[in-house]
Structure 1
Amino acid sequence: MTDAQRILLVDDDPTFTRVLARGLARRGFEVECCNDALLAEDTCARWQPTHILLDLNMPDASGLLILPRLLAACPSARLVVLTGYSSIATAVEATKAGATNYLCKPSSLDEVLAAFGEQPTPGSVDIPADPISVDRLEWEHIQRVLHDNDGNISATARALGMHRRTLQRKLQKRPVKR
């Protein structure tokens, strides 16, 4: 890796960003962090990174909204989307908008770096023998959205696009096993 490897981290989680930035710096990257989408656009145009790691769920603007603007500001940069709210629809949309790759959180530093690689490395990531179930993913997503809405059932139901009583029934059940 040359000295000119610069990575822009765009994520609203300061702890995650700080840990990832430290790991990338140890691997030889110059790292710049932005915790909101609008600042990321300005930083990208000014700093001209070679790599961009973008979260989709940002408080001020969706990562999908700013993805094309980041690539327009720095067309030679390789952009990888890293999100905790992954879906096939957002993966397709991000790829169509110019993302090099799409990763789901949590991802290791090695997985992030492999996602930036020129050639896909299908054998480099170990697939767990017992992957997390779809029901468990739904349960964890509901819990995260509920937490983000400070326990407000009605606001959570609106955010999830489901009826409030349906959400209440799902919350009365025990967590689904992995």
Structure 2
Amino acid sequence: MTEEHTSPTEVAAGTTLLLVDDDGPFVRRLARAMESRGFTVEIAESVAEGLAKAKAAPPDYAVVDMRLEDGNGLDVIVALRTAREETRMIVLTGYGNIATAVNAVKLGAIDYLAKPADADEIFAALTRGPGDKPEMPENPMSADRVRWEHIQRVYEMCDRNVSETARRLNMHRRTLQRILAKRAPR
């Protein structure tokens, strides 16, 4: 697919979009918003369903939630990249951190957005040209957020092994589990 767009607020007719998110009300609202911008939308509410749809009909674009009830959305990113290399994908999650953002981009995502992201932000990220850069955030990360990001980076380096991460951080395993279960601090 070429990078042509009919206007800044919609895409060419027949452009396909796969939405993979286990939050049913959110994904249906997002689907309606993206359909109004010209996309032909498919919804998957699990990793298994996302993998099946990625293999059956690889889309032009995809929005994939990182944490799904049956697994990790990065598995869907890998399947999409394998099925169709030029699919433009973004990762959307309520548990955003630098380590998983880097991993998502290495696997083929073009952007990474933290929830709550609205349809306009998602559309802008999907259709942003290769040279276009997103705006810089106005506020720097808090000390709590920096600490949380470091913990997430070590967790990813340990292949999401809680015991090994706790050992490397010299932290009690249960304390680490509580930190990992919470949303990222602002």
Quote the Cα distance in structure 2 between the aligned partners of 1:84 and 1:17: 14
Match of 2:129 among 101, 118, 129: 118
Match of 1:101 among 92, 108, 111: 111
Quote the Cα distance in structure 2 between the aligned partners of 1:63 and 1:166: 25
Following superposition, the deviation at residue 119 of structure 1 comes to 3.3
CA contact (8 A) 1:114 1:121 kept: no
SS in 1 for 2:68: coil
Match of 1:43 in 2: 53
SS in 1 for 2:117: coil
Give CA deviations for 1:53-105 in whole Å, capped at 9, x if unaligned.
00110111211233211211222211110111111100111111111111111
The 5 A counterparts of 1:16-35 are 16-35=26-45
What TM-score does the superposition give when structure 2 sets the normalisation length? 0.67
Quote the Cα distance in structure 1 between the aligned partners of 2:87 and 2:25: 25
The percentage of counterpart residues that share the same residue type is: 38
Q: Return 5+ residue gaps in structure 1 as ranges.
A: 139-156, 171-176
Give CA deviations for 1:117-158 in whole Å, capped at 9, x if unaligned.
2235446x5845x678564899xxxxxxxxxxxxxxxxxx99
RMSD: 3.0
Match of 2:81 in 1: 71
Following superposition, the deviation at residue 4 of structure 1 comes to 2.1
Quote the Cα distance in structure 2 between the aligned partners of 1:12 and 1:120: 32
Match of 1:54 in 2: 64
The 5 A counterparts of 1:135-146 are 135=144
CA change 1:66–1:134 in 2 (3 A) is: farther
Q: Return 5+ residue gaps in structure 2 as ranges.
A: 1-10, 148-161, 180-184
Q: How many residues align?
A: 150
CA contact (8 A) 2:47 2:75 kept: no
